[in-house]
Structure 1
Amino acid sequence: MARSILSHFLILSNTSPRSISSLRPSGVHLRKCLSRTAIFHQNRLRIGENLRCFCSVSVSEPSTSETSSSSVKKRIVSGVQPTGSIHLGNYLGAIKNWIDLQNTYETLFFIVDLHAITLPYDTQQLSKSTRDTAALYLACGVDSSKASVFVQSHVRAHVELMWLLSSTTPIGWLNRMIQFKEKSRKAGDENVGVALLTYPVLMASDILLYQSDFVPVGEDQKQHLELTRELAERVNYLYGGRKWKKLGGRGGALFKVPEPLIPPTGARVMSLTDGLSKVMSKSAPSDQSRINLLDSKDAIANKIKRCKTDSFTSLEFDNPERPECNNLLSVYQLITGKTKQEVVEECKDMNWGTFKTVLTDALIDHLNPIQIRYAEIMSDTTYLDNILAEGATKASSIADVTLNNLYQAMGFLRR
């Protein structure tokens, strides 16, 4: 993700991500399909190998009993880094979907500023980018009366839990993480700090701290969620159950083992300059590769006009020889809320010049209300800061319980 807490999942239909708690692939609970801690679960998948069960499970509607038999909502956490401007991929792949999730689940959406410092960054921009990201959450439709919106570093339990989890995380698990290998190779040894290696442990603490039931996942986050699940099981085995009860705790599991929340079949938003191999990302060197939510009308028009296309004369979905065509049609479908078939019928006879104009207009029309609302929010920073403070207070009330229980289970002297 431009890295984020499990924020790169994308829906290419008019439905939203939904609970998968009732699914049983091949008659076995999803949890048993995933790898377990190597110490006490043998013959399972290992971290870094193909996690096929993530890909073979589709999303179904929650059962009636799940949604109505209890007033307690399932909990979801997610967030985006405050590095660079939030772009169309962040919005369509994560934030836009949060609007539906906040109506069904207990949701915590935070700005993951601690993750933003794993590589060299501009210290003068971090605070501004953090506030900008929070304002865009709200401008896109996140409702602070339904969801807790806060800044990661404002809840210090994130870092404390990371340290406790680090003590039980085998270094071999981290060495196998794909993103560390890729980013460290690009950055060079002199620019790589320990945080780049250990940030998956912080990501795990972000999830486990709130006893999350479900986590939205995309292709680049499956491995991180698997690590989170492994750590939850490992800590529960090492410190939970009877061991914790003997220390005065209530026994049982210390952490919920979160399940992946998988969207309906779809595709990621790809780069405007390479529809085949590069996801739209903040880290791409060229700003021409992405549409930022705060881009002006002229900037949007220019980027769409110059984006990569092909030499075919008509437009179509799902042709593997036409990745840019599929990407741009998918963006148009998501922005307009139309069905795939409606887009096919509307655009199949268009040439690229005509379609680019149609897509540009749709993007400007969709993003303009967000930009207006963003400007309103940023004009009253006290309002925004109050929302973030309230969100951090709510989050801390959950996080502190988890953290204190783990301190107790690990044998620390009570405060």
Structure 2
Amino acid sequence: MSIAKKRLVTGIKPTGDLTLGNYLGVVKPLVNFQKKFNQEYDLYVFIADLHALTKFQEPTLLKKRIKNIAALYLASGLEPSQVNLFVQSEVVQHTYLSYIMESNSYLGELNRMIQFKEQKKNNSSQNIRTSYYTYPLLMASDILLYDANVVPVGQDQKQHLELTRDLADRFNSLYGETFVIPEFLKMGHTIKSLTEPTKKMSKSFQLDPQNDKGCIFISEELKVIRQKIMRSVTDSDKKIYYDIEKKPGISNLLTIYSALKDLSMEETEKYFLNSSYQILKEKVSDVVVKTIDEIQKKFSFYNKNSILYEIFEKGAKNSSFIAEKK
């Protein structure tokens, strides 16, 4: 008698061009998870095109970015035969359940969402789309639709997962056991900007040319990537050790190196114990360039190959089958 697999659900928005932060924060950890837990978990990985619509997206560019994300996953080693990779809007049950979640939630809960409060603080209400306000409810639907057991969520999305758990618990109390209560799964690293190491490296930085120097894009020329790392902000201390408060720039470089080499921070600190900042930057540059060079070669194959659409179709079909039963 076979034991039913658990389920992991995760999504990524196709906004902005892909960065090293995306790779180390989401993609590489997911590939490692698949290799380690393939016999225990079914993976549902979607490109969150509906979530991207909280801001205007030029249609042609959005379509291109959807392909780019999928190609990055596959070029990074995600095994297509062992994952349900699909585009969110291709499974209509996401929006169906989202309305049910709207009817199962309260304004006070959404008003407490930190991301919305920050958006409201920085913008007039007239410039905030309604979908940004209800974003956490669609996210809850993305998760609950597949009875996800675990969800990899960054710190900035943790509050949304807590709301998801509350909504599932409330629905179950009112209507009977319907949804699995998902658990938070810590996965991946938070990579900071090379020029402002107290801020997250973001694909949205590309909208601001001044911030391009702090962001490493997967599609960039390798020599440009090396230049950015060699010019990254550090400090005047000259000692290499991890301290995110006192040495954010050095800590960021150590995080990048340890994540790409699959080393612990203790091992990484020991490796660079007697090194100069120059040596640290050179070593980080070498491993980043090597990794991105390998990805770029495979990325081009998947991005230009019709197999991508076949994978999307298969993933949407499998996901719809599960969603329809819910």
For residue 375 of structure 1, the aligned residue among 282, 297, 300 is 300
Shift of residue 93 of structure 1?
1.4
Q: Relative to structure 1, is the Cα distance of residues 232 and 71 closer, same or farther in structure 2, using a 3 angstrom cutoff? A: same
Identity within the alignment, %: 40
- Partner of 1:85, secondary structure, is coil
Q: Distance in 1 between matches of 2:77 and 2:189?
A: 23
Cα deviation digits, residues 205-231 of structure 1 (max 9, x gap): 000000111111221121000110011
Matched with 2:233 is 308
- The answer on 1:162 being equivalent to 2:98 is yes
- The answer on 1:135 being equivalent to 2:71 is yes
- The answer on 1:261 being equivalent to 2:185 is yes
- The answer on 1:289 being equivalent to 2:214 is yes
Q: Distance in 1 between matches of 2:260 and 2:140?
A: 32
CA contact (8 A) 2:102 2:137 kept: yes
Q: Distance in 1 between matches of 2:116 and 2:224?
A: 33
For 1:345, the aligned partner's letter is K
For 1:117, the aligned partner's letter is L
Shift of residue 184 of structure 1?
3.3
For residue 84 of structure 1, the aligned residue among 7, 10, 16 is 16
Equivalenced residue count is 318
Matched with 1:99 is 31
Cα deviation digits, residues 58-110 of structure 1 (max 9, x gap): xxxxxxxxxxx952111000011111112112211111111132241111111
- Partner of 1:145, secondary structure, is helix
Segments of 5+ residues of structure 1 without an aligned counterpart are 1-68, 241-252, 403-415
For residue 236 of structure 1, the aligned residue among 172, 187, 191 is 172
For residue 193 of structure 2, the aligned residue among 264, 271, 275 is 271
Q: Distance in 1 between matches of 2:262 and 2:273?
A: 18
For 1:159, the aligned partner's letter is T
Cα deviation digits, residues 255-277 of structure 1 (max 9, x gap): 111111234xx86211212222x
Shift of residue 346 of structure 1?
2.6
Q: Distance in 2 between matches of 1:131 and 1:226?
A: 30
Matched with 1:364 is 289
- Partner of 2:9, secondary structure, is strand
For 1:281, the aligned partner's letter is S
Q: Distance in 1 between matches of 2:227 and 2:274?
A: 23
> Which has the greater radius of gyration?
1
For residue 137 of structure 2, the aligned residue among 201, 219, 236 is 201
Shift of residue 174 of structure 1?
0.4
Matched with 2:258 is 333
Q: Distance in 2 between matches of 1:183 and 1:123?
A: 24
CA contact (8 A) 1:119 1:191 kept: no
CA RMSD of aligned residues (A): 1.7
Q: Distance in 2 between matches of 1:343 and 1:258?
A: 33
Q: Distance in 1 between matches of 2:116 and 2:192?
A: 21
- Partner of 1:283, secondary structure, is helix
For 2:260, the aligned partner's letter is I
Matched with 1:216 is 152
Cα deviation digits, residues 341-389 of structure 1 (max 9, x gap): 4322332222222221221111011111111100011221x21101001
Q: Distance in 2 between matches of 1:99 and 1:139?
A: 10
Q: Relative to structure 1, is the Cα distance of residues 255 and 280 closer, same or farther in structure 2, using a 3 angstrom cutoff? A: same
For 1:294, the aligned partner's letter is S
Matched with 1:109 is 45
For 1:270, the aligned partner's letter is K
1:38-49 paired onto structure 2 within 5 Å:
none
Q: Distance in 1 between matches of 2:54 and 2:117?
A: 14
Q: Distance in 1 between matches of 2:237 and 2:147?
A: 50
Matched with 1:144 is 80
Matched with 1:406 is none
Q: Relative to structure 1, is the Cα distance of residues 113 and 267 closer, same or farther in structure 2, using a 3 angstrom cutoff? A: closer
Using structure 1 for the length normalisation, give the TM-score.
Answer: 0.73
Shift of residue 187 of structure 1?
4.0
Shift of residue 238 of structure 1?
1.9
Matched with 2:314 is 390
